[in-house]
Amino acid sequence: MDRQLIKRNAGKPTALLFAITLFIFLDCSILAINVWLTQHVEQNALAINVAGRQRMLSQQMAKTLLEIKANQYETPSLETRQELYNARHLFSTTLDGFLNGGYVIDGSGIVKPFSRTLDPEASEVIQKAMSLFLPLSSSINQLQAAPSPSTIGEAARVAVEVNGPLLAAMNQLTSRMEILSQQKTQLIRRVQGAAFALALINFFVIVRMFFQRAKQSSRQLSSFLALLDNASSAMIVIDSRKRVVMANRMSQELFGYPAHLFMSIGVENLIRKTNGETMGSRRNGDTFRIDLTTRPFKFEDESLTIITVTDISKHAEEQQRLAHLANHDPLTGLVNRRAFFDRLELEVLRTRRTGQLLGVFFLDLNKFKSVNDTLGHTSGDELLKTVADRLLHVVREVDTVARFAGDEFVVMVTDVNHQHELLKIRDKIRSIFSYSFKIKGVEERIGCSLGMAIYPVEGLSATELIEIADQKMYQDKQAS
């Protein structure tokens, strides 16, 4: 630090001690808020993820019961009943987690702590879903205890009756969780910003008081520098020529410059704008994303600026990872049901303006259950990933492939001028099942049932297109 910047002594020792204590307290508060923010982001992403999974579980239970009923009420295998029971149990425990908290199982099968929902609107939706689910849960338990044509028929009837309202309730819950997540994030950001601003103002007060006192006591100047060195944030003071006149130890560690070199470089060598983002530049040439807070001030005749630098590269990566989990299927990596529906709604609006065509393909695997039964669920998962990979290779990069539920996939094809182009794509999709799938060294051949809906020929909304494609898929399944 240039000694010419150290001016008159002022202030009482007790005031300085109080300012230092307040600075440390605010600094710790910022750290605590960051931890709190990360936990809330993770909880919100987990809540959105498991709420979306409830839709898949509801579809899975209904589909399994209908398949059992379609087999002329044959007594289902123990494994099929166990799968149905597991889906019922996971659906029930997840609803209970929303109501009472505790633990839930995430999309990767990991048990994680979960906070109960305090929002009255979300609680009302969950209570409604619970009342819809109880008859289905009871009928599944009766089927599990005593499988017979009557218990199978009753369970299938209840599943068909409650599946639609239950899906609607889960969609409403997912939307409410997203709204609550946004509200929480905004509130936490404001609290974090206020605490950070107070800490920065207090830091400025400490800097000024230390500058005033350092002329009479070099020991106080050393204490001040030690305080900055122990701060958890990188802090740099620059002059009017944008030259560094002071940098704490955290800054030296962050940028990789020793103290004697820090005092001879310009701030433009440390901080720069790249593609609209603020980036830090280390001595070895590495760059990283940062967040800056600057506060210019006058000290005697000197114009100084305090810059607080926060490395947000890891936080940004974590945000991207959580966002990806919330919008993608954890098994195949494809877009999930909710994200697909959002994209489809946007593309319908865009296609309405361009006057082109849009196609939605609904795909259900045939004989997938037999692969699970004979080769195991791990092989079934491997088959789903292989189908996803093949689908991605027969469509364009601008098209969207999503895992809808279980062994169901949907494909959205945009910017099409003629219907025969969609028919070609339909043939390409069918062609991926013309040759076998190699799973654990075993060659397996499976087919698919496929339905197609065209906008605006057959449907004018995202919901209509999916429903029409789904109906055509079932017609294709019955005809095969």
Cis amide linkage into residue 330, ω under 30° from 0: no
In the predicted structure, residue 396 carries a pLDDT above the cut 50 = yes
In the predicted structure, residue 429 carries a pLDDT above the cut 80 = yes
- Residues 384-405 have a mean pLDDT of 91
Domain span at 259: 233-313
Pairwise CA distance, residues 376 & 21, whole Å: 62
Q: Looking at the structure, tell me whether residues 258 and 355 fall in a common domain.
A: no
**E strands, 250-301, in order:** 271-274, 277-281, 287-299
Q: Looking at the structure, tell me whether residues 457 and 361 fall in a common domain.
A: yes
In the predicted structure, residue 50 carries a pLDDT above the cut 50 = yes
3 state DSSP class of 311 = strand
Residue located via tokens 């205890």:
145
We report the CATH number of the domain holding residue 244 as 3.30.450.20
Check if the beta carbon of residue 232 is closer than 8 Å to that of residue 23.
Answer: no
Report the pLDDT value the prediction gives residue 104, as an integer from 0 to 100.
79
End-to-end CA distance of the chain: 82
In the predicted structure, residue 6 carries a pLDDT above the cut 50 = no
Q: Taking the complete model, does pTM exceed 0.85, yes or no?
A: no
**Residue after which a domain boundary falls, among 155, 188, 221:** 188
In the predicted structure, residue 454 carries a pLDDT above the cut 80 = yes
Q: Which residue has the higher pLDDT, 209 or 170?
A: 170
Q: Looking at the structure, tell me whether residues 360 and 303 fall in a common domain.
A: no
In the predicted structure, residue 2 carries a pLDDT above the cut 50 = no
Amino acid at 9: N
- Residues 396-406 have a mean pLDDT of 90
Report the pLDDT value the prediction gives residue 107, as an integer from 0 to 100.
66
What single DSSP character describes residue 264?
A: T
- Residues 227-244 have a mean pLDDT of 75
Report the pLDDT value the prediction gives residue 423, as an integer from 0 to 100.
93
Which pairs with CB-CB distance under 8 Å and at least 24 residues apart come from 26-31? 26/195, 26/198, 26/199, 26/202, 27/199, 27/231, 27/232, 27/233, 29/195, 29/199, 30/192, 30/195, 30/196, 30/199, 30/232, 30/233, 31/232
Confidence of residue 416 (pLDDT cuts 50, 70, 90): very high
Q: Looking at the structure, tell me whether residues 71 and 143 fall in a common domain.
A: yes
Is 194 inside any structural domain?
A: no
Confidence of residue 301 (pLDDT cuts 50, 70, 90): low
Q: Looking at the structure, tell me whether residues 302 and 332 fall in a common domain.
A: no
% the chain with pLDDT above 90: 19
In the predicted structure, residue 327 carries a pLDDT above the cut 70 = yes
Pairwise CA distance, residues 15 & 21, whole Å: 10
CA distances from residue 44 to 3, 179, 267, 323 in whole angstroms, order as listed = 51, 10, 38, 11
Is 31 inside any structural domain?
A: no
Q: Looking at the structure, tell me whether residues 95 and 175 fall in a common domain.
A: yes
Confidence of residue 61 (pLDDT cuts 50, 70, 90): confident
Pairwise CA distance, residues 7 & 98, whole Å: 60
- Residues 367-390 have a mean pLDDT of 85
Is 217 inside any structural domain?
A: no
Report the pLDDT value the prediction gives residue 250, as an integer from 0 to 100.
80
Report the pLDDT value the prediction gives residue 182, as an integer from 0 to 100.
77
Provide the β-strand partners of residue 246: 237
Phi and psi dihedrals of 453, rounded to 5?
-130, 140
**Residue after which a domain boundary falls, among 281, 313, 345:** 313
Number of structural domains found in the chain: 3
Is 204 inside any structural domain?
A: no
Is 10 inside any structural domain?
A: no
In the predicted structure, residue 282 carries a pLDDT above the cut 80 = yes
Confidence of residue 116 (pLDDT cuts 50, 70, 90): confident
Pairwise CA distance, residues 431 & 228, whole Å: 66
Q: Looking at the structure, tell me whether residues 376 and 427 fall in a common domain.
A: yes
Is 354 inside any structural domain?
A: yes
Report the pLDDT value the prediction gives residue 316, as an integer from 0 to 100.
56
How do residues 62-81 score in pLDDT, each as one tens digit? 787 887 877 755 667 777 77
Q: Which residue has the higher pLDDT, 223 or 305?
A: 305
Q: Which residue has the higher pLDDT, 199 or 250?
A: 250
Letter string b/e over residues 220-252, b meaning 16 or more CB atoms within 10 A of that residue's CB:
bbebbbebbbebebbbbbbbeeeebbbbbbbbb
Amino acid at 93: T
Report the pLDDT value the prediction gives residue 10, as an integer from 0 to 100.
40
**Residue after which a domain boundary falls, among 135, 153, 188:** 188
Is 225 inside any structural domain?
A: no
Show Cβ contacts of residue 155 under 8 Å, excluding neighbours closer than 6 positions. Answer: 65, 136, 139, 140, 142, 143
In the predicted structure, residue 347 carries a pLDDT above the cut 80 = yes
Q: Looking at the structure, tell me whether residues 144 and 269 fall in a common domain.
A: no
Confidence of residue 7 (pLDDT cuts 50, 70, 90): very low
Q: Looking at the structure, tell me whether residues 309 and 338 fall in a common domain.
A: no
Confidence of residue 297 (pLDDT cuts 50, 70, 90): confident
In the predicted structure, residue 1 carries a pLDDT above the cut 50 = no
% the chain with pLDDT above 70: 79
We report the CATH number of the domain holding residue 159 as 1.20.120
Q: Looking at the structure, tell me whether residues 292 and 375 fall in a common domain.
A: no
How do residues 121-171 score in pLDDT, each as one tens digit? 888 888 888 888 888 888 888 887 888 888 888 888 888 888 888 888 888
Pairwise CA distance, residues 151 & 420, whole Å: 47
Q: Looking at the structure, tell me whether residues 169 and 241 fall in a common domain.
A: no
**Cα atoms in the 13 Å half-sphere on the side-chain side of 189:** 7
- Range in 54-58, 404-408, 416-420, 444-448 the model is least confident about: 54-58
Provide the β-strand partners of residue 279: 272, 289
Pairwise CA distance, residues 359 & 55, whole Å: 24
Closest CA to 125 of 200, 51, 64: 51
Report the pLDDT value the prediction gives residue 44, as an integer from 0 to 100.
73
In the predicted structure, residue 221 carries a pLDDT above the cut 80 = no
- Residues 322-343 have a mean pLDDT of 85
Pairwise CA distance, residues 370 & 388, whole Å: 19
Is 445 inside any structural domain?
A: yes
Report the pLDDT value the prediction gives residue 276, as an integer from 0 to 100.
75
- Residues 443-450 have a mean pLDDT of 87
Q: Looking at the structure, tell me whether residues 335 and 468 fall in a common domain.
A: yes
